[in-house]
A and B are shown apart, each in its own frame.
Chain A
Amino acid sequence: MNLNILWFILVAVLILGWSVMDGFDYGVGGLLNFIAKNDKEKRYVMNAIGPVWEGNQVWLILGGGAVFAAFPLVYASIFSGFYLAMMLVVWLIIFRAVSFEFRSKVENAGWRNFWDADITVTGLGISLLLGVAIANVLMGVPLNQDHVDYQSLFSLLNIFGLVGGLISLSMFLMHGSAYLIMKTEGEVQQRARVFAKRFAIAYIVFTLLFLLISPIFAHRLLSNSFGIIGDIVPVIMLIGGIGVILTAGSSSDIKPFAYSIVGILGAVASLGVGIFPDIVPSSINPEYSLNIYNSASNHLTLLVMLIATLIGLPLVLIYAFYAYKKFGLKVKMDDSSY
């Protein structure tokens, strides 16, 4: 296995890390106004992610940096090509990043309602836009011979992109609900069980719809580089979703979250299998596509970054494990909470 293939896998691992570790933060954010009925419940729900969301968000920064370093041409052409969509994501992230801290500082109904709405909208918005962008990449991007993409924001808003967005939206809402089943007790947990089931159903429905229409929009998904093995990878998504449906109502607090992770794993694996060895396929001419070779940094950079990742990632997991352990499985409010 060469370094380029290894880095393709590593980027997929980082996307998986981000989706699993930060995805529930967006999901919980998106659910906030629906699952919690009053300020006390909202604070309870918020504190399920309170001590950890800040660290989780770094997965996104790390992912961006890793793509920049390993596949600079992908970073350059996707971010400039999806200009206004990227900006929209950045603005949503900015407004989410300050929301929890700002909200808790002032006890005023208007102020708190504003930030509650902010947390909900940014959570839903980011979850949706993620899938829209990915579906558009799968469909192919109008890259010219210089790998530059000239297109408008509105061309991203097509049926296929929208269905992709609905997949990621329902996936993160499912994940957020499953996380809340694990972290909460009482009424909030009961509501989370209902939400988890509903969003898992939505996740399965949108995934099937996506697979059904992909022959029209994204031929490459029909002829992936792995043949029959590649074709069955999306089944993992369905297994995860069905697992959540079956366990959401059970007495287990952890199983729904575990199945939700399986669902996300399936989605990231399907994306990787579907697109390999390209990273950004060109819709103008397959030869203009950016793949793991023509978009990559030179050998030394890939090697240095690989060593850095092998040392750094375990450290990150140790810090994260420590933080989760210190705050326990179930949310316990005290006067240091948000």
Chain B
Amino acid sequence: MDSLALFLARFQFGMTAFFHFLYPPLTIGLGTLLVITEGVYVFSKNQEYLRITRFFAKLFAINFVVGVATGIVMEFQFGTNWSQYSSYVGAIFGAPLAIEGLFAFFMESIFVGVMLLGWNRLSAKAHWVSTIFVALGSTLSAVWILVANSWMQSPAGYKIGSNGIPKMTNFWHVVFNPYFPSEFIHVIAAAWEYSAFFMAGVAAWFLIKNNKDMIMRKALKIAVISGVIVACFQIVLGDISAREVVKYQPTKLAMMEAQWHSERYAPETLFAIPNNQTESDGPQIGIPGMLSMLAYMNPAAKVMGFNKSISYINHKYNLKLTAAMFPPVLIVFWSFHIMMYFGFYFALIMLIALYFLFKGKLYDSPKMLKVLWFSTFLPLIAIEFGWFTTEIGRQPFTVYGLLTTVKSVSPNVSALDVGLSTLMFTLIYITLASFAIFLFKRELKERAEGKDELAGESAPAAASNNKEVLS
């Protein structure tokens, strides 16, 4: 096996997953927020909520197409770059991917067309139902994609067949594998959290320019109320997810917490510069006993160290892994901690915003509005670092305990092929992200300059009717 080809394949997967994952959280979360705003309109007949829905639906549309475009490759990449992985787990891993298409992605994609282009075709209620289907479809997509991912984290419902390849023995055990519930809720909450910040940030931007913008005042209010609920819950949900790591992936926990040696009263390390060579944390700040407490609800509980965790899984899965096969602890430690610190920041910001809202000062405080505008995309950083923690922390495995990354790669794809395609993907994704940012900005600017939210997808001057075309 060519180690350069392996490195490039890993880089390509990480890079394409990174770019793809910038978009679906907004599709899921903003979709849900649109269900709320349009629902308020349908039942109150208050046009302002229709305007909120129509405006954010335009941003939703831009985000949606890039999300789909960058998502297609994810499905094909398992076959192109990871053919050994695909033949090994296809019988189990392929099922949720196909079911995702059948029960989720179709619903989402068919109704997104109805929703975005059907404002004048459907009754208000019927249109709202389409929006609900879009939000439901994208959430169900997350269900099945996370079934697939969580199965890689904590495989269940299988038996190794006579050919050495896992066979599905119980479909529902595959679906409800130990990681799935906590991972799903954590990811969905992250999507909602980001979308609340997104809506709050965009609304804040308009209010900084004009704080009499009644439509954006309403949007900000909805965003802050939903944001504060999700951001506070997320801290609890994150803790629940981490507890699953304690149970099923001791090596990941040791890397997340830079826990080199097994000990009782293990500290929750807040700052460290972990070094794999010296197996030490360098300058370190920690809260004694806190990790034992968080992991086992008992400050005296013993937490497994890095080396002990490796010998533990070697014994459990009958393997011969060495510490050198694992990723630098520094990366996993900081990915996890950056995500965690952002999680606390989000809850704090939303609580302060809620306080301002109750005091009636939210719309008139340029400082608070600026903080919200500044925070618009920060949840993406937390989302990506959370993903790094999960995926890099799972290394050296693709399927924890069953299959290593080294044995997953396509044997017949050369470093040149992967290098070329990686280069192309990088260029394409940077281009797409730039286009998306350009179009986002443009929508904001056009509205700030007075474009009516109820005007359609196309620029107003281009709007034409059939007669013009057919004459």
Residues on A lying within 8 angstroms of B by beta carbon are 39-41, 43-44, 47, 50-55, 57-58, 60-62, 64-73, 75-81, 83-84, 86-87, 90-91, 93-95, 97-98, 100-102, 104-107, 147-150, 185-188, 297-298, 300-301, 304-305, 308-309, 312-313, 315-316, 319-320, 322-323, 326-327, 331-338
Contacts and interface: CB of A to CB of B under 8 A. Distances in A.
A337 B118 CA distance: 8
Interface stretch (B79-87, B198-206, B313-321, B380-388): B79-87
A77 B139 CA distance: 32
Contacts of B65: 54, 97-98, 100-102
A64 to B, nearest CB: 5
Nearest to B118: A326
B300 interface: no
A82 to B, nearest CB: 8
Interface of B: 61-62, 64-66, 68-70, 72-73, 75-76, 78-81, 83-84, 86-87, 89-95, 97-103, 105-107, 109-114, 116-122, 133, 161, 167-169, 171, 410-413, 417, 420-421, 424, 428, 432, 435, 439, 442-443, 455-466, 468-470
B79 A80 contact: yes
B106 A62 contact: yes
B148 to A, nearest CB: 10
B305 to A, nearest CB: 38
Nearest to B79: A79
A65 B81 contact: no
Given A298-B167, A304-B171, A316 B457 contact: no
7 contacts: A60-B72, A64-B97, A83-B412, A86-B76, A100-B65, A301-B168, A337-B457
A57 B161 CA distance: 35
A188 B79 CA distance: 41
Contacts of B87: 72-73, 76-77, 147
A50 B76 CA distance: 25
B425 to A, nearest CB: 8
B456 A336 contact: yes
A61 B101 contact: yes
A95 B435 CA distance: 12
A101 B90 CA distance: 34
A53 B224 CA distance: 35
Contacts of B105: 58, 61-62
Contact of A338 (B98, B161, B457): B457
B69 A98 contact: yes
A148 B411 contact: yes
A334 B69 contact: no
B102 to A, nearest CB: 3
A336 B116 contact: yes
Contacts of B64: 101
A87 B91 contact: no
Contacts of B439: 102, 105-106
A41 B469 contact: yes
For the residues of A in contact with B, the DSSP-based class is helix
B109 A62 contact: no
Contact of A319 (B106, B120, B458, B465): B106
B117 A337 contact: yes
Contacts of B470: 185-187
Given A68-B75, A101-B65, A107-B458, 9 more contacts: A72-B94, A76-B86, A101-B64, A102-B65, A105-B459, A106-B459, A107-B461, A149-B412, A327-B118
Contacts of A102: 62, 65, 435, 439
A27 B118 CA distance: 24
Contacts of B169: 300
B144 to A, nearest CB: 9
A75 B89 CA distance: 12
Contacts of A105: 62, 439, 442-443, 457, 459
Given A58-B105, A79-B83, A315-B103, A50 B113 contact: yes
B109 A78 contact: no
Given A69-B91, A319-B107, A319-B110, A80 B66 contact: no
B73 A90 contact: yes
A68 B111 contact: no
- Chain B CB within 10 Å, residue with most, of A52, A76, A80, A320: A80
- Chain B CB within 10 Å, residue with most, of A70, A91, A301: A301
A72 B86 contact: yes
A333 B420 CA distance: 42
Contact of A186 (B73, B90, B469): B469
Nearest to A303: B171
